Amino acid sequence: MKKKVIYYYDEINNDFAGTKIEQKPIDNSFNYIRDKNIFWRLCSFVLYYIIAKPLIFLINKIWNGSTVKNRKVLKLINKKQGFFLYGNHTNILSDAFQPSLIKYTKRFYIIVNPDCTSIPGIQNIVMMLGAIPLASTMSSKINFLKCVKKRIADGHCVTIYPEAHIWPFYTKLRDFSPDACHYPVKLNVPTFTMTTCYQKHRGILSFIKRPKTISYIDGPFFPDSSLPPKEAALKLSEEMKTAMRERLDKYSNYNYIEYVKVDDPTKVTIL
* pLDDT at position 119 over 80: no
Give the containing element (helix H, strand E) for 96. helix 92-97
What single letter denotes the amino acid at residue 147? C
Mean per-residue pLDDT for 212-239? 96
Report the CATH number at residue 37.
Answer: 3.40.1130
* pLDDT at position 1 over 60: no
Taking CA atoms, 124 is separated from 24, 30, 32, 88, 143, in Å, by: 14, 12, 11, 26, 17
pLDDT per residue as tens digits for the range 123-141: 888 899 899 999 988 888 9
Decide: helix, strand or coil at residue 204: helix
97-106, 144-153, 237-246: the lowest-pLDDT one: 97-106
pLDDT per residue as tens digits for the range 99-114: 888 887 789 999 998 8
**Residue 87 domain boundaries:** 4-267
**Residues in a beta bridge with 157:** 83, 108
User: What's the whole-model pTM score?
Assistant: 0.93
The number of distinct structural domains making up the chain is 1
pLDDT per residue as tens digits for the range 13-66: 999 987 777 778 888 888 999 888 899 999 999 998 899 888 888 888 777 778
Q: Cβ contacts of residue 22 below 8 Å, gap of 6+?
A: 118
Contact (CB, 8 A) for 163 and 195: no
